[in-house]
Amino acid sequence: MVIGASTTLTVASPATAAGVFKSIRRANTGLCLAAESASFGAAILQMPCDPNSIAQGWKPEPINGTRYRFVNQLGFCMNLFGPTQNDTPILLIDCAWVSNEEWNTGRTLPAAAVQIQSRAGFRDTGFCVDVPGGVFTIGIAVRSWVCNHTGAQLFDIVV
């Protein structure tokens, strides 16, 4: 997948992204999750980390315990966009406090090497944010896949 302008989106000041907005970095590669664009329905891609990129700024909003909603600095939420099954796309859509925007990290954030499990239907589904095949390909879109604790599904969500 080729990406466009999202790699050039930057905040006015790096301090803006610090604190509230955090990177979601793949634990075994150092690559970060980023919005493909600033549009509704944008894919979430694996990209080189850039601390100044608003496309890579994520605010984990606590729901209860280890359950969160992830708001991108562009103003959209991470959403399991379809059924709870393998290969369902994970996209950015308008935030609406629906179950497809709820995720369980299994640990209080910030934390390292956590899975991000979908809570579609307001229940743990057993499907996690996944980089297809665990590849290191820049610009590949994440999707849902049965949680398996591999490097394709482990993310650091830190300051």
Q: Which two tokens stand for residue 70?
A: 């992830």
Tell me what pLDDT residue 60 has: 96
Q: What is the pLDDT of residue 19?
A: 61
pLDDT(18) > 70: no
Of the chain, the percentage scoring pLDDT greater than 70 comes to 87
Mean pLDDT of the chain: 89
Domains of the chain, earliest start first:
16-158 (2.80.10.50)
pTM higher than the cut 0.95 = no
* Mean pLDDT, rounded, for 88-97: 97
Q: Is 74 helix (H, G, I), strand (E, B) or coil?
A: coil
Each residue's pLDDT tens digit, 123-154: 999 999 999 999 999 999 999 999 999 999 99
Res 11 pLDDT > 60: no
What mean pLDDT do residues 35-40 have?
Answer: 97
Q: What is the pLDDT of residue 30?
A: 86
What are the angstrom distances between the C-alpha of 137 and each of 15, 66, 132, 149? Answer: 29, 29, 10, 20
pLDDT of residue 10: 36
User: For the range 61-67, what are the long-range contacts, defined as Cβ-Cβ under 8 Å and sequence gap of 24 or more?
Assistant: 62/109, 63/102, 65/108, 66/104, 66/105, 66/106, 66/107, 66/108, 66/109, 67/102, 67/103, 67/104, 67/105, 67/119
pLDDT at 158: 81
Distance CA(104)–CA(69), nearest Å, equals: 9
